[in-house]
Structure 1
């Protein structure tokens, strides 16, 4: 039986001197439809349908034939907006980014009436440089396009060949051309569910400010080496180095339960940089398996990665690693 690994990322936090600041823009946002006839308060993360339901503008979308009664929601173009004051002095930070973990789906984003970017993929994390646009008091707006109308437009623009299926079976009463948009496919209907191709900010949104360099992503892939008969852990750390000169230091990877502590010297050149590391787990140390609930223990191993960099910059991340059959 071949062994595989389940990777669980958790408790990703920065050290006390990480040199970065994070400010969430989640919570209350104003949501209005295209002609302004509906204007209400909603919550981010969330979507248009959930907001309309929570505010009492629509009944339960899943009741009866409400998927057809509320089709107008998906055909409208909705706008999310918010005014906010930043709790820090922007002049003290070299880089300030606006980060969306998930936008559903097609939108134009404006900060202080300046277009800073567009989105067209529900599954992508978006990062926008707002260093020269941010103020003490700000207004942000996301102008969404109907996913249904966007998919239809994309389909008409693609003339090379037909991309089947154009529409779902009629019995599903769904929307067409879902294969022309990077959105949750079942939202246009499926054989087990109705069509609710909604719009909204469905994951977190925040502002990040930093100096020198910043760890903006961190991934790892544990693998079993059949030839060496041992476990290995491949780690990738993604940095944005805004210092004009290289940033040196050390990276320390620790998994105490597996008696691992490995130190490497690193030097980060200016620009977007990737640090790749490999950790071997001693074959004499037993690694317990992770089992689904009811079939055994869900064993996980706590791992920390500490980057000790120049100018007393410490960045720490934590994760939990598990393996399963």
Structure 2
């Protein structure tokens, strides 16, 4: 077992980049391991782990991640590193629309998430420098922003299953479809619903786009099996809240780290997957973006015997060897 604690850090009068204001913004975070300080008293073993768009910080506790990464001798050995795992604004136990404000919840974007996380680290946890940031999908996108917005704050960045390019193409199309289904649901009522709108849950575009077609075919080799899988997708979506999901999707609309890339000082290992439908390898986006960056490397992993598509990010066994080598080089 890992030494694990959870806490809330509350920011008073947090203002977003667009000028909207939170009277109080709760940032929930889990920490694993023990802080270590160097001879000058500075924390030197903090690692920030950032979750994806469909999860929360607790995603990192799943066996596909913690079981492959946090144990003795593994890339993010919890006996060696102090792992900080926050819930982003709008997710998990951090402030979100379903806490009560619903559609009156201030609009936020990915840059605001990063700004709030920076304050969580510096003001809430007293962490002034990170050894590394590892992010999955949305978390990887946040990692690119972290590198440009706070250059020098971290030694290394490991964005996984994402692109350092403007939100666009297939990725935005499937998000826009979900947004439209929520906003045009007969029960939406401007976000003041008493019964959860379910149009978006009955059209699980996200699940289709983030799962490998090969894996889907194995899960659903017949029409009956596909119908059963569809019901599983719907049930999973229906367990959430429509306002929360709407805000999560819209938070990505202005994502574009391109102007910030030249500011990044950290070493970079960008990991992507050749069968990821959201981040198509054919676009060559990552390679083009890092071409002008020092100490940056992109890895495109081919599908293994059990193809996972975008979901490969949640199966560290598929990519931890690359992370292990990267961490060894850092040390």
Band of TM-score, shorter chain: under 0.3
- TM-score, normalised to structure 1, is 0.23
User: Whose helix proportion is higher, 1 or 2?
Assistant: 2
**Larger-gyration structure (1/2):** 1
More strand by share: 1
> Does 1 or 2 have the higher relative contact order (CA < 8 Å, sep 6+)?
1
TM-score normalised over the length of structure 2: 0.23
